[in-house]
């Protein structure tokens, strides 16, 4: 099982690791800073470097408890020590996007009591989120946009914690995402808490505070059916500052 360093510190941009397996799908390390595609967030890209070699990581996926680095060209051998480094600018943009989605979820839940039924993002700062909501309109989108940016501008801290599955699922105020979306094998459950606005189970990467997100625009609202509404958001091109691991 790969030690997922990003789960506790999303600001780690690189790590020293050992190749423990090579599969048709890619390279498995004993530990990694690469986030594997899942939960609506794309997998990280970057590089693996070792003595005499370099491989470009074009995608990262999960296979059971292992994280697989899909590489272009030659791969390191089992036992090789490598330096794994992510494309930080791309990752940080997705961290901002993911935190923006959680803040959006919190605003919608506070204003309308609606739970999230799905979501997705790309690596350009564009994302969408689906809600159990009866009504949706452009006017509502603009109203939510204003309230969302008001919350982001409060620079609320974002905390990461881990709770036993039974404890997490017994808390009705915690699970804003429908419980059925959380795989049964996930235990403990990782919790992302945006102080005062949103607290939910999540495995993705996030910024340390909402002020890092920057301005968010609701670019489209859609009705996909009864109690199935969608909002699409877009981040500004750059965040207020370029935050890296300290």
Q: Which helix (H) or strand (E) holds 152?
A: helix 138-152
163 within domain boundaries: yes
Beta bridge partners of 61: 68
Average pLDDT over all residues of the chain: 91
First to last CA, the chain: 27
Non-local (6+) Cβ contacts of 169 within 8 A are 175, 179, 182, 189
For the cut 60, the answer to whether the pLDDT of residue 242 exceeds it is: no
Q: How confident is the model at residue 12 (pLDDT cuts 50, 70, 90)?
A: very high
DSSP state letter for 1: -
With bands split at pLDDT 50, 70 and 90, how would you rate the model's confidence at 243?
low
At 23 the pLDDT is 95
* Beta carbons of 69 and 22 less than 8 angstroms apart: no
Q: Enter the DSSP assignment of 233.
A: E
Residues 81 and 119 in one domain: no
Q: Which domain holds residue 204?
A: 90-235
CATH, residue 29: 2.40.30.130
Judge whether residue 160 has pLDDT over 70: yes
CATH number for the domain spanning 110: value is 3.30.980.10
What whole-number distance in Å separates Cα of residue 101 and Cα of residue 127? 8
pLDDT higher for 181 or 48?
Answer: 48
- CA angle (164, 186, 79) in 5-degree steps: 115
Q: Is residue 142 located within the same domain as residue 174?
A: yes
Between residues 141 and 186, the one the model is more confident about? 141
pLDDT tens string 94-121: 999 999 999 999 999 999 998 888 899 9
């Amino acid at each position: 099982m790969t030690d997922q360093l990003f789960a506790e510190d999303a600001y780690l941009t690189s790590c020293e690791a050992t190749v423990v397996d090579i599969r048709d799908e890619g390279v498995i390390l004993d530990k990694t800073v690469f986030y594997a595609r899942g939960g609506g967030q794309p997998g990280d890209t970057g590089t693996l470097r070792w003595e005499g070699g370099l491989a470009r990581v074009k995608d990262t996926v999960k296979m059971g408890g292992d994280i697989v680095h899909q590489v272009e060209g030659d791969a390191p051998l089992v036992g090789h020590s490598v330096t794994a480094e992510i494309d930080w600018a791309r990752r940080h943009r997705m961290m901002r996007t993911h935190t923006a989605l959680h803040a959006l979820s919190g605003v919608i839940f506070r204003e309308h009591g609606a739970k999230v039924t799905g979501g997705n993002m790309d690596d350009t700062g564009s994302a969408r989120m689906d809600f159990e909501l009866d009504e949706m309109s452009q006017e509502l989108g603009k109203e939510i946009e204003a309230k969302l940016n008001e919350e982001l501008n409060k620079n609320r801290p974002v905390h990461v914690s881990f709770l036993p599955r039974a404890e997490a699922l017994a808390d009705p105020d915690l699970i804003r995402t429908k419980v059925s979306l959380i795989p049964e094998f996930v235990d403990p459950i990782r919790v992302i808490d945006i102080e005062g606005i949103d607290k939910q189970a999540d495995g993705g990467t996030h910024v340390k505070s909402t002020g890092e997100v920057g301005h968010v625009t609701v670019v489209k609202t859609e009705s996909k059916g009864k109690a199935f509404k969608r909002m699409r958001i877009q981040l500004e091109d750059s965040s207020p500052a370029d935050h890296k691991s300290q």
